[in-house]
Structure 1
Amino acid sequence: MELWYTEKQTESFGITAKIRETLVTEQTDFQKLDMIDTEEFGRMLVLDGMVMTTIKDEFVYHEMVAHPALFTHPNPKHVLVVGGGDGGVIREVLKHPGVEKAVLVEIDGKVIEYSKKFLPEIAGQLENSRVEVIVNDGFMHIHDHKNTYDVIMVDSTEPVGPAAPLFERGFYQGIFEALKEDGIFVAQTDNPWFKADLIQKVNRDVKEIFPITRVYAANIPTYPSGMWTFTMGSKKHDPLQVDETQIPELETKYYTPRLHKAAFVLPKFVEDLTK
C-alpha cells in the first residue's frame, strides 16, 4: 500500500508527495504539526496542512530570506528572526561573522523541539552562543523592542492562524520602530500565481512606511506554484545599489553575489503587482 501526502494549495490544485513514514503528528497549542519523511524531498515539516520546509529544497528559502538583506546592510550586528522555529534562517544569518547576536522569536515551541529532533541539518545552529531563542509572540516582541535591531526577518507561515497578524500594516509599522535608523526588514510574501492580492497589499503597506521597498523572487519547488516572493523594506540602504563585486562568497547552494541583484528582476506580471 502506498501513502501520499497532498497539500491543497487552492481548492482546485495541490502538490503530492509519496510518504515513507509519519514521524510526528500533533495538535499544538497553536496549529496542527506534522513531520513526515517523503520519498522525493526527504523529511518535511507541515503546519496546518502547509509545507513549511523539506530537507531537499530548504536551502533556497532560508538563504534568500537571510542574505539579500544582510548584504544590503553595511554592518548588521543585531538581527531578529520572527517565526522560523526550524532554525534555517538562523543558520544562514550566522554565516555572517559581523552578526554579534541573532534573536529567534517563535510562538510555537513545538516547532523548535521537533525541528531539533528531526531536522538537525536545518536546526543545528539554534544552540549557538550568538543565538537567543525566545518562545513568545513575535508581534509583542517587536512592540517591546524599539530601535533595537539592524535587520528583522519575518519567517512566517501563510497569513492564517497565528501568523495572520504578521501580514498587517500595524506589524510593519512596529518593525519600522524596532529597527535602528538605517535598518532593513524582509518578509516572505507568498506567490504571485495564487496570492497576487496579498503581494499587492503587503507592497502597498510597506511602501507607506519605508522609503525603499523592493520585491524579489526565488524558485522553491515545494511551495505553491514554485515561484516565491519576498518583500524588503529599508530605511536607507537600497539592495539594487549594492556593489556585487564586494559581496564575499559564502557556503551557499542558491544565493550568489551575481544573484543578489538578479533576484529583483521580476517577470512583468509580478512586477505589475508592485506598482
Structure 2
Amino acid sequence: MTDTAEQNPEPARIRVHGLEKSFGDQKVLRGIDFESRRGTSTVLLGPSGSGKTTVLRSLNVLDTPDRGVIGIDDVEVDFATLPAGKAGRRESNRLRAQSGMVFQAHNLFPHRTVLENIVEGPVVAQGRPREEAVADARVLLDQVGLGDRGDAYPFQLSGGQQQRVGIARALALKPRVVLFDEPTSALDPELVGEVLAVIKDLATQDWTTVIVTHEIRFAEQVADHVLFLDGGVIVEQGPSAQVIGDPVEDRTRRFLKRILDPG
C-alpha cells in the first residue's frame, strides 16, 4: 500500500489581492486581500451573505471574479486582464486544477460505488491509469476511515460517511490546495464530529486548506489564520487566538457572541 505522505503533493501558497465580484447589481466582494502560507489552514468566518463562499468559489474559479489577482504558487491569474475565449479558459483551468473542492452537499454519483466515485475524476478528468487511481483511492479511503466501504453505494452510507467520501474524492485529484465549503452544514449534529476529525487530521499533514465554516470551536482548533468577513470585505484577520479569542473589531465580537452565546 502506498504511504499517505507519498500521496500528498507539495502544499501551495495562496495569494489573493484586490478580489472583486458582483452578481448583477449586488457587489458581493469589495476588494479581498489575504495570503495563506504553505501547509496552513485558513478559516473564513462571517454571517450569511458576507462573501465567504464566493471567495472560496473564486479560488477554484467556479465563480469568475470581476477583477483581482489569485495566485497558487506559480499559477497566477489577473482577472482584470483575463483574455476572452479559449486563452482565458485555459488560464482559468490551470488555476482550477490547483485545488480540490469539498461541497456542502456530497454530490456523489448514486449509481456508482464509493470506490468508483473516487476514481472517476483522476481517470476521466486527469487521464491517469485506472490501476494507479484505484490504488490511490484505497489509501484515501483508509485515511478517512472508510477502508472497508469501497464497494458500498452512497445510499448505504450515513451523511457523515458520504461527506468523508467527498473529501477522499477531492484529495484523489492530488490538489495543491483543498477547499471546504461549510462541509458539515448539511449533516445531523451527531455526524458533524466525524467529518471535522478528518479535516483536522488533514491540517496536521501539512495540506494547505481554506475552510468556510460556522463551527467556531473547530475553527479555533484548526485554523492558522482566520478571516472574518462582512459585507464583502475582510473586517478582521489574524491568528485564531486573536480573531476568535480576543477580537479587535466590535463587529467581530458581536458576531462571535451571537454564535457562541445565542441566549
Query: How high is the TM-score relative to the length of structure 1?
Result: 0.31
The structure richer in strand per residue is 1
Larger Rg: 2
Query: How high is the TM-score relative to the length of structure 2?
Result: 0.32
